[in-house]
């Protein structure tokens, strides 16, 4: 990683830190919660060696990128605006966009809104959900509450300012290790290998109450990796990343002009066998061929959980490079 170039660009009213390697067609990598450009550490050199200019962003609110104070600064329009302007400021006209976790919806909707900028799209761990219309006065938060019933849900737990921050920042090492382990393919809960957690839990408990802390790190996560994540989230805090969730309620209105618009660029989706955290239901995955106009591949990585590009880097790299080379 010593060969990675680190730099800052000013886009959309903020400074974005990014890591770059290679030359050729641009590939923009967008991480999720609560991560960093570092989540792509295995992909950057592999894609660069394959002939691509690879740029991994610290997304809005994370790491060395700006962390605006206002909750409203983390809405979908701002997130998409960041990546659209990043392509231009980097001196390019077009890019392939790749997202994981929250970076997935950013990638999907950036491609939907700006097909002139994003010539292809890849998502890991979050399937595409086309823009939908809801009855007046109903938001996606209301839908989540209806599905949760008498349970809490992590996205709902994040809504009240200050509550989730206090929970997650009480012991940053426990939080980061617990999140990385508890929704990975290696999770063992109460002595039994888990098939995944869908993010719901008993009301009155907190998110960190749900986390499992392993006696040993999983093989894909070193102490150096964990320390990097802890240092980065200590630098930025969790608030910026949590604020993305606090804007979910506005996504339907932002996407309203795009209801019915097809997403026709070449697309690719990868998901882990044991990943249930971000809408990876069988129904959502089965619907992708009909929801995407040019789906080039749909890959399930056996035994993997949510952190695909870290848990199965060689497989992810192989699939990504094949997809890129065939564009």
> So what's the pLDDT on residue 194?
81
Domains within the chain, CATH numbers bracketed: 5-325 (3.40.50.1820)
Q: Where does residue 326 rank: exposed (0-12), middle (13-18), buried (19+ CB within 10 A)?
A: exposed
Given the residues 17, 31, 100, 306, the one annotated as active site: 306
**Count of CB atoms situated within 10 Å of the CB of 94:** 15
Phi, psi angle pair for 207, to nearest 5° = -65, -45
Distance CA 47, CA 318 (A): 9
CA distance 77 to 257: 12
Exposure pattern of 127-163 as b/e (b: 16+ CB <10 Å)?
bbbbbeeeeeeeebbeebeeebeeebbbbbbbbeeee
Q: What is the pLDDT along the chain (327 residues), one digit of tens a residue?
A: 768 999 999 999 999 999 999 999 999 999 999 999 999 999 999 999 999 999 999 999 999 999 999 999 999 999 999 999 999 999 999 999 999 999 999 999 999 999 999 999 999 999 999 999 899 889 999 999 999 999 999 999 999 999 999 999 999 999 999 999 999 999 988 777 888 899 999 999 999 999 999 999 999 999 999 999 999 999 999 999 999 999 999 999 999 999 999 999 999 999 999 999 878 888 999 999 999 999 999 999 999 999 999 999 999 999 999 999 999
Separation CA 80–CA 103 (nearest Å) = 10
CB 124 within 8 A of CB 104: yes
C-alpha 288/C-alpha 129 separation (Å) is 8
Predicted local distance difference test score (pLDDT) of residue 189: 81
Distance CA 79, CA 129 (A): 17
Which residues touch 191 (CB under 8 Å, ≥6 apart)?
none
- CB count in 10 Å sphere of residue 302: 10
Q: What residues are paired with 95 via a beta bridge?
A: 118
Q: How far apart are CA 77 and CA 85, in angstroms?
A: 12
Euclidean distance between CA atoms 107 and 86, whole angstroms: 13
Q: Give catalytic status of residue 100 as yes or no.
A: no
101 classed as catalytic:
yes
3-state SS track over 239-264: HHHHHHHCCHHHHHHHHHHHCCCCCC
- pTM of the entire predicted model: 0.97
Instruction: Sort residue 83 into left (φ over 0), alpha (ψ -120 to 50) or beta.
Output: alpha
Catalytic residue among 82, 101, 167, 186: 101
Go through 48-76 and write b for each residue having 16 or more CB atoms within 10 A of its CB, e for each that does not: bebebbbbbbbbbbbbbbbbeeebebbbb
What pLDDT score was predicted for residue 324? 98
């Amino acid at each position: 990683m010593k060969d990675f170039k680190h730099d800052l660009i000013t886009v959309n009213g903020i400074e974005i830190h990014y890591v770059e390697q290679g030359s050729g067609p641009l590939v923009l990598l967008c991480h999720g919660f609560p991560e960093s450009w570092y989540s792509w550490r295995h992909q950057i050199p592999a894609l660069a060696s394959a002939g691509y200019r690879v740029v991994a962003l610290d997304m809005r609110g994370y790491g060395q990128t700006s962390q605006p104070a206002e909750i409203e600064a983390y809405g979908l329009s701002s997130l998409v605006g960041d990546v659209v302007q990043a392509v231009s400021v980097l001196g390019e006209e077009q890019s392939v966009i790749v997202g994981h976790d929250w970076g997935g919806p950013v990638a999907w909707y950036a491609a939907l809104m700006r097909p002139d900028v994003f010539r292809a799209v890849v998502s890991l761990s979050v399937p595409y959900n086309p823009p939908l219309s809801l009855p007046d006065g109903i938001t996606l938060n209301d839908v989540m509450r209806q599905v949760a019933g008498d349970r809490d849900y992590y996205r709902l737990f994040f809504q009240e300012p200050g509550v989730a921050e206090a929970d997650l920042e009480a012991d940053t090492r426990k939080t980061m290790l617990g999140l990385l382990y508890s929704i990975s393919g290696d999770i063992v809960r109460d002595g039994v290998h888990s098939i995944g957690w869908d993010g719901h839990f008993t009301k009155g408990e907190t998110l960190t109450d749900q986390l499992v802390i392993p006696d040993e790190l999983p093989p894909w996560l070193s102490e150096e990796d964990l320390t990097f994540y802890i240092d980065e989230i200590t630098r930025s805090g969790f608030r910026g990343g949590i604020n993305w969730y606090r804007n979910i309620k506005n996504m339907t209105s932002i996407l309203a002009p795009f209801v019915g618009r097809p997403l026709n660029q070449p697309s690719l989706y990868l998901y882990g066998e044991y990943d249930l955290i971000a809408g990876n239901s069988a129904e959502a995955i089965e619907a992708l061929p009909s929801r995407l106009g040019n789906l080039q591949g749909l890959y399930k990585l056996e035994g993997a959980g949510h952190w695909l590009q870290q848990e199965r880097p060689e497989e992810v790299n192989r699939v990504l490079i094949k997809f890129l080379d065939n564009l």
